[in-house]
A and B are shown apart, each in its own frame.
Chain A
């Protein structure tokens, strides 16, 4: 959308605005950039007091090797091209792959295909081609300067984290917990938020306000409340298994009551219960912005209550659902306190695992490995934001009512 000239900001304000955003970006992005740089260097470089040495990794370059100008230039081009290609074609591909069936199925299939494709390109094709190009330029006089390494680079820390330390197990644990939390919060949140927004029952509203207030409790208080119950859950839950009325039902799942401590499910439940009031609140306000006439028109046109919700409300609710989903994701993904206290070693998620890396207090190499692990866990966030950036931009209900 273009802004009318008369409504545009004056130049001074625009410059000030831009400068402020740039400054803020620098503050926010610099630490991320710095640990990214550190994670690719050997410890001597990473912890050097000379910033240039951290960036260019003199020692790393000498002992392991690095990237040449050619690599850097080509790398940027390939990255941008790959992003463009994926962004432009994945929608169509999803359309093809849904094979006339459900669209979401097509999207999942397309994502898998693209992920495999990208992994192949960056894991195999790119190193091969770049190596070849560098060798060719290396033998041409004058141009061989372009092919000599300038920035030191080593991937040994990443290899150590993901292969030797089997970080993928923690990654999977994180994935399970996060997926569980997001799914449950969004399902409960959309239904409850819709109900609250449309019925406006005052009792439910005040319950929600109270729940929101409880969210201000330090999480450690909550956890210490849950902890004994989870540790002794075998005794607590005993009666359910023993009584005649309910025993047969719970017996279907296990022979005797489970110990909840250390399992994923209880952590998911705790995280959801911390987060749910906020999710419901947020979704409720999104729903309230959807004109009532939409449900009403749908119901007159022949939808049941639930059908109206599914066919008419949900399609215009995506921005709200995705934005709220991102918040839930962040909470579950970054949670330290609940996960570190309620999970055993086997079920541990990434964030407490990284904290342990840092606390091992051994060599400098371990520290850099911890940094590499920390950088690794930001990757999914980037992916998510990139995928959903279009949907986060709101405004799907324009044109529905007279307004």
Chain B
């Protein structure tokens, strides 16, 4: 059993707080993805789980052991470092083999395991090279192979695919998912690529400024963002967010009027909806009516953007929709695709029906 539990984890450097009061339960065999913008504390959290950084406050347990005082080697983890950390004096083969050697695993099995790990990341014919003779992406694959050569209790992977080309990234991603399914090892995976997070994760942790914003399955996070940060971070394009006034079930802002919303709350709110949920309609009687700000052809759809109040609002139209910038357009928004957030705190106030 290898559930990982973080209780009130905080990391401070002097006055600066890198990670603040993180509480998290990662179940046994779960694939957990940390997602967040650059500098939000993903690597720091992962390093604290690995034992490379001491938390200023809080308790970390792996399985049923509290590991705060344990050396990294005794936590039985394998890690892919964000900037690789390969052993420069060893060949690719010896690099991948190193964990087996240090942990005194039966030498008979080494060759097999190394080759299997190397095959997985397509390193087969580079085994005799030194790290300095490899490209950035190849180095990253060595780091990945070194982590998966052994079966630890927890995998920690810090952006393990960031330097691979698009094709290799997709195939390695699939292999990683399959490997995790096969080995049934609890995995914590850091990325700022949403697609990676959506495709790999059982659950996603969205972080910002060292705080957890939301924990949930990819669908839950996409469909029910807990606050405006998650709403504005997840999805491509991100959710449209409009500031305005809610009065008696009607949301009002510049060029915007949406009726049929819950009537039990009045005052300033932020309203959100996804571009693909709304429709382009005639300007007459539409919830949003405004001149077109830009039209982008995406191939499978056409993205139409208008200016409402201070912000830009996008909607996806049919792929053969054509219009000129400046033409008037309407956007039809039914109340059941709307998400409401508190204007001050940004927290969700009512679920979309």
Nearest-neighbor residue (CB-CB) of B98 within chain A: A301
B181 to chain A, nearest CB (A): 23
Query: A300 at interface (Cβ–Cβ under 8 A)?
Result: yes
- A300 near B87 with CB under 8 A, answer no
Residues of chain B from 65 to 120 with CB closer than 8 A to chain A in the complex: 71-73, 77-79, 81-89, 98-99, 102-103
* Number of CB contacts from chain A to chain B under 8 A: 90
Query: Does A303 lie at the interface of the complex (its beta carbon under 8 Å from any beta carbon of B)?
Result: yes
CB nearest neighbor in B for A395? B132
A397 near B: Cβ within 8 Å?
yes
A375 at the interface (CB under 8 A from B): no
Supposing A299-B52, A301-B102, A399-B131 touch, asked if A316 and B89 sit within 8 A by C-beta, the answer is: yes
B87 contact from A302, A304, A400, Cβ within 8 A: A400
| Choice from B81, B133, B146 contacting A293 with Cβ under 8 Å | B81
Decide if B85 touches A316 in the complex (CB within 8 Å).
Answer: no
B residues less than 8 Å from A311 (CB atoms): 102
Decide: B85 and A400 in contact? CB cutoff 8 A: yes
A307 at the interface (CB under 8 A from B): yes
A 276-320 contacts with B by CB, 8 A: 291, 293-294, 296-305, 307, 311-312, 315-316
CB distance from A42 to the nearest CB of B (A): 54
Residues in A with CB closer than 8 Å to B134 are 399
Inter-chain contacts of B301 with A (CB < 8 A): none
Q: Smallest Cβ distance from B265 to chain A, in angstroms?
A: 49
**B230 on the A face (CB < 8 A):** no
Interface check B316, CB cutoff 8 A:
no
Q: Could you tell me the distance in whole angstroms from the C-beta of B191 to the nearest C-beta in chain A? A: 16
- Determine if B102 and A399 form an interchain contact, defined as CB atoms under 8 angstroms apart: no
**A399–B135 alpha-carbon span in the complex (Å):** 9
Contacts A397-B88, A399-B130 given; does A296 touch B81 at CB 8 Å? yes
B329 within 8 A of A: no
In the complex, what residue of chain B is closest to A307 when comparing beta carbons?
B102
Find the A residue at minimum CB distance from B83.
A402
Kindly name the residue among B87, B133, B134 whose own CB sees the greatest number of chain A CB atoms within 10 A.
B87
Interface residue B139 (Cβ < 8 Å from any Cβ of A): yes
On whether the beta carbons of B72 and A316 are closer than 8 Å, the reply is: no
List of B residues within 8 angstroms of A304 by Cβ: 71, 73
Task: Please encode chain A, from 84 to 122, with 1 for each CB lying within 8 Å of some chain B CB and 0 for all others.
Answer: 000000000000000000000000000000000000000
Chain A contacts of B102 at CB under 8 A?
Answer: 298, 301-303, 307, 311
Indicate which residue in B78, B88, B89 contacts A300 across the interface (CB closer than 8 Å).
Answer: B78
If the complex has contacts A300-B77, A398-B132, A399-B132, are A291 and B89 also in contact, measured as CB distance less than 8 A? no
Q: Which of B155-188 contact A (CB under 8 A)?
A: 163
Neighbouring B residues of A307 by C-beta, 8 Å: 102
Task: Report how far A378 CA is from B303 CA in the complex, Å.
Answer: 80
Nearest-CB residue, chain B, relative to A315: B89
* B85–A294 CB distance below 8 A: yes
Q: Is the CB of A399 within 8 A of B88?
A: yes
Whether A399 touches B136, Cβ cut-off 8 Å, given contacts A299-B72, A300-B78, A311-B102, is no
Contacts of B82 in A (CB 8 A): 402
Would you give the shortest CB distance from B331 to chain A, in whole angstroms? 44
Cross-chain contact A402 with B131 (CB below 8 angstroms): no
| Contact yes or no, A297 B71, CB < 8 A | no
Q: A396 at the A/B interface (Cβ < 8 Å)?
A: yes
A294 near B87 with CB under 8 A, answer yes
Instruction: Assess whether A401 is interfacial by the CB under 8 Å rule.
Output: yes
Known: A297-B81, A299-B72, A302-B103. A396 touches B50 (CB 8 A): no
Q: Which B residues fall within an 8 A CB radius of A? A: 50-52, 71-73, 77-79, 81-89, 98-99, 102-103, 130-134, 136, 139, 146, 163
A-B contact pairs, 11 of them (CB 8 A): A293-B81, A293-B85, A296-B52, A300-B77, A303-B102, A304-B73, A316-B89, A396-B89, A398-B88, A400-B131, A402-B84
Closest 6 CB pairs of A and B: A293-B85, A399-B132, A399-B131, A297-B85, A402-B83, A398-B132
| Interface contacts beyond A293-B83, A400-B131: sample of 17 additional A-B pairs, CB < 8 Å, sorted by A | A291-B83, A293-B85, A294-B85, A299-B73, A300-B51, A300-B52, A300-B73, A300-B77, A301-B98, A301-B146, A303-B73, A315-B89, A398-B88, A398-B132, A399-B132, A400-B84, A401-B84
